[in-house]
Structure 1
């Protein structure tokens, strides 16, 4: 499957994700989704002002995340990004801690993984550093990376 087919498939499943996210509308799910988003956003080691704005706009416009209040999503995402900006290791530790709280709930984990991948692909580019982080997230969630073409 080509990368463009992969991106098209993710976009087609947006409405399905919204229905799935509704099932998991809770603080642990929100934190896992925003922590994973921060991990992907920081995959190259930096997040400049333009990238932050793009991420925030994506989070605000993502149908699946609309089940949460925009302020909650942005606040949670910002907290994880701030941890990375303070110290990369602390940022990763806090983000993986949030992801780990979903471990054992395969459906919630798969939903978060699909959200993270849609965020990674939001700029039309899914580079090697993002793929490596996405693979690490899948493993952390107890998922098989190959299920997500990683």
Structure 2
């Protein structure tokens, strides 16, 4: 599959996420989704103010996340980013801790994984650093990275 087809497929799958996410409208799911978004955003080790604005704008306008209050989504994402800004290791630890709370529920895990991939694809670029983080998230969720073409 070409990269263009992969990106198009990701965007199509992202559009159907709202219905799935509405089934999991809870704090645990929200935290896992925003923790994953923070991991992807920090994949290259930093998040400049322009990237942060773009990521927050995407999260705020993401149809799938609209089942949650915008202030909750942004607040949760900011909290994970602040952990990274304080210390990279603490940020990763807190983010993976939130993601691991979904383990054991394959439907929630797959849904949050697709959401994280839609965040990664939001800027039209899915670089090697983001792919590596996405693979690690899939493994943390006890999912096969190949199921997500990673």
1:72 aligns with 2:48: no
Q: How does 1:31-42 map to 2 (within 5 A)?
A: 31-42=31-42
Q: Deviation string for 1:8-63 (max 9, x for gaps)? A: 11211233210000000000000000000000000000000000100011001111
Q: Deviation string for 1:91-127 (max 9, x for gaps)? A: 0000000000000000100010001001101111110
Gaps of 5+ in 2: none
Gaps of 5+ in 1: none
Query: What value does the CA root-mean-square deviation take over the aligned residues?
Result: 0.6
Report the Cα distance in structure 2 between the residues aligned to 1:115 and 1:19, rounded to whole angstroms. 12
Matched pairs, number: 150
Q: Which runs of 4+ in 1 moved over 6 A?
A: none
What is the TM-score when the length of structure 1 is the normalising length? 0.98
Residue in structure 1 matched with residue 21 of structure 2 by the alignment: 21
Residue in structure 1 matched with residue 45 of structure 2 by the alignment: 45
What is the TM-score when the length of structure 2 is the normalising length? 0.98
Report the Cα distance in structure 2 between the residues aligned to 1:13 and 1:139, rounded to whole angstroms. 20
Residue in structure 1 matched with residue 136 of structure 2 by the alignment: 136
Residue in structure 1 matched with residue 99 of structure 2 by the alignment: 99
Q: How does 1:98-137 map to 2 (within 5 A)?
A: 98-137=98-137
